[in-house]
Structure 1
């Protein structure tokens, strides 16, 4: 990747780290799918690292990681809030089940107590019936405690008003009726007890499940909080690291800019001389034709007028790498996102070429026929590079540059044909990964190669 600014549009890598101003910065990606969001963050991280290729690789990676961390932080914070909400819901559910279980157990205790009371009443009634029957059988009389059924202890009155046998029978019938009612009540209480015991069993199972759910929710919330805490810590650490490195980065950028300005000046001056020489030759040819016409007594030809610029038609460039290699970074101005650190101080940077995502070792070909005027290692951050002058055609000069190669197979001064192998791609110089950075300079100015290919 190469950058330009100023009158020559050669800014030399204005580095804009996509670095949020606060921990609450919104994520760079708004995709619904988490995989898409992560892919978008990774792409933004790669873009940031590419923009920092003229800086130490560790700094570039830190900036890229910071983009990812800050992009993930809002989602992690939202996940933490949702996890905490699940904990609250689980706690509420467990508390409600515990309250219901307590009520059910209280109900069971009351029913059990009632059953015990009913059992005693049934026993007393059965005993009374037995006494009535035994007394009537033995003596035809009524035992003294039968008076309990009639509210009187004066048994002498009975013999004056009714037959003792009939009275005993009625007493026994009344006792039997009472026993039947008590037995029915007992059966109902037994059924209620069974229902309550089943309810208690069900509630205990639900309560146990609710407690497990609560524990899982708490564990999940703890994990989410740990993730958020780590993202915040990593973001703070990387931000501090980059802020501390800022003076050194700016000094390095100033050096890189000076080197790249020199390259821009070299290309501009070389192309200017070529165009001037070409124009002088065209004017010489026109003057010679005019002189020949005058000597022959013919009318003077029309004055020479330089043709309109049309570099695409004039040079007919081909892609410098195989057709299946994608373009990973285009040409043009890259604005610094609001709230980010702009190390160069111009609000963005100018990417003066295009990057092909070529794996290391991919063949690199001359985009057009020309003369190699620089080959091998350079001190402009481009590593092993090749610079080719394609001369002047119809008034337009063209220079192409190929940066970051693993190796170069041509030499300075060599004539090359279009499509000839000139290098193998790599990641030499200030580069964060294998790629081919390709530049086109028309009439001394960097232009978008896609307009010429």
Structure 2
């Protein structure tokens, strides 16, 4: 037997469930406001709702695993479970923050490399401009000297002076060759100057573009540094949260370790009570068989199965039936091993009616250790098998031992007695003295 409800969960569970519900509410709000991306948001909402349902079930199962503990032990274990439930999300947030920081740092490194390349281009272009400017100045100097020489009456090399001044054909040929060479040199110097000036204009344009790029890259680098700093702080905060949760977990685990002996003693009491109940049920079934045999009406041999389908009606006032925790094995949060949650927990509210699931006879209505106020109803033999149901943690009961009850008859009112965390109905079904899963027998 373990326990689960929604009415009085330990505070750690309420906080965690609230955070999940809050995240769901945010997504629902976004979905309502979103334009043509509805399908994507619907998928996200559906996924988050599934996660919410899974988280709710995990919390319910964790609560169920706490049955059999005193309030003090249950609170310690609940706090530990709540911390452990928060750790994965906190660690995921830390990983996301670290990845974001790494992304900003990679971008900053790429920008820095581009900036360095641009600055190297600036240096190279500036050097080219300086070199070309020096050469242009040199050429201009040459042109100036040529102009001065021509102005000061230097050797004339016009075609007329060559013809008039030539003393012979050989002299004419020589002077004409010299004149041609001089003119070619002047043309080459002027062409080179024009080329250098054109190159310089291109270089100046490139230099301006590079300097603009450098300014942009420096601004982008400053922004990435700022973004990286914010991401670094976010990662530090998330890391601190994880470290704090780990520290809390370690402290709570240490506290839990110190409670193991007490927890084991309480669980042993519950197990002993359950063994006593099973023994009493088997004894009742054996006596009923003996009486039937004496009357010549012995039922067939037990088959181990009472059949399938809805053998029982809804024992609660909640319609439809709402199962908060299933039948099955649960990891004990303190003792660290799996124990059977021997029934299903059904949603009820404090003081709400509890009904008989099937015609039968009240075997007892009394306090049982761990189970609180318990009503056990004997339904006789079904397919040769003894069938009984128990209704646990009740605030009070209105029936007594030996009383016949019919399906749907009031047995008492739900509560939180015994080792229970909140008002609910822990419903168990016994076949030949052993518990079975009640869900299919309730038609669920």
1:404 to 393, 396, 404: 393
Q: 1:36 to 1:239 in 2, by over 3 A?
A: farther
Q: Which residue of 1 aligns with 2:195?
A: 181
- Give the alignment of 1:18-417 within 5 angstroms: 39-60=53-74, 62-64=76-78, 66-67=80-81, 69-70=83-84, 73=87, 80=94, 84=98, 87-88=101-102, 90-116=104-130, 118-119=132-133, 122=136, 140=153, 176-280=190-294, 282=295, 304=296, 306-309=298-301, 312=306, 317-321=312-316, 324-331=320-327, 334=329, 342=335, 348-372=338-362, 374-375=364-365, 378-390=367-379, 398-411=387-400, 414-417=403-406
Cα separation, 1, equivalents of 2:106 and 2:360 = 79
Kindly provide the CA deviation profile for residues 165-220 of structure 1, in whole angstroms up to 9, marking residues without a partner as x.
x89x9597676445423422321321231232233234324433443453354334
**Partner in structure 2 of residue 438 of structure 1:** 427
Classify 1:423/1:133 alpha carbon distance in 2 versus 1 (closer, same or farther; 3 Å): same
Cα pair 2:69 2:266 within 8 Å, conserved: yes
> Equivalents in 2 of 1:399, 1:87: separation in Å?
62
**Aligned positions, number:** 374
Note closer, same or farther for the CA distance 1:37–1:71 as it changes in structure 2 (3 Å cut): farther
Tell me by how many angstroms 1:408 deviates: 3.4
**Hey, what's the Cα distance between the residues in 2 that align with 1:414 and 1:242?**
44
In proportion to residue count, which structure has more helix?
2
User: Match of 2:259, SS?
Assistant: helix
Q: Is the 8 A contact 1:359 1:425 kept in 2?
A: yes
Q: In structure 2, how many angstroms separate the alpha carbons of the residues matched to 1:395 and 1:192? A: 99
Q: Indicate how the Cα distance of structure 1 residues 446 and 325 shifts in structure 2: closer, same or farther if over 3 A, else same.
A: same
Q: In angstroms, what is the RMSD of aligned CA positions?
A: 4.4
Q: Secondary structure at the match of 1:98?
A: helix
- Secondary structure, counterpart of 2:348 in structure 1: coil
- Contact 1:386-1:402 within 8 A present in 2 as well: yes
Structure 2 spans left out of the alignment, 5+ residues: 4-46, 156-173
Q: Tell me how far 1:244 sits from its aligned partner.
A: 0.9
1:292 is matched with none
Alpha carbons of structure 1 residues 133 and 40: separation in structure 2 relative to 1, 3 Å: same
Q: 1:35 to 1:226 in 2, by over 3 A?
A: farther
Larger Rg: 1
- Seen in structure 2, the aligned counterparts of structure 1 residues 245 and 178 have a Cα distance that, compared at 3 Å, is same
Q: What does the per-residue CA deviation read over 1:370-411, in whole Å, with 9 as the maximum and x for residues that have no partner?
A: 4445446x2422233333344678976554321123443445
Q: Matches of 2:433 and 2:115 in 1, distance apart?
A: 86
Pair 239,120 (structure 1): closer, same or farther in 2 beyond 3 Å: same
CA separation of 1:309/1:365 partners in 2, compared to 1, >3 Å: closer, same or farther? farther
Separation in structure 1 between the aligned mates of residue 384 and residue 51 of structure 2, nearest angstrom: 49
Moved more, 321-330 or 181-190: 321-330
**Shift in Å, 1:226:** 2.7
C-alpha contact 1:41 1:67 (8 A) present in aligned 2: no
Structure 1 residue 365: Cα displacement: 1.2
By how many angstroms is 1:50 displaced? 0.8
Displacement after TM superposition at 1:51 (Å): 2.3
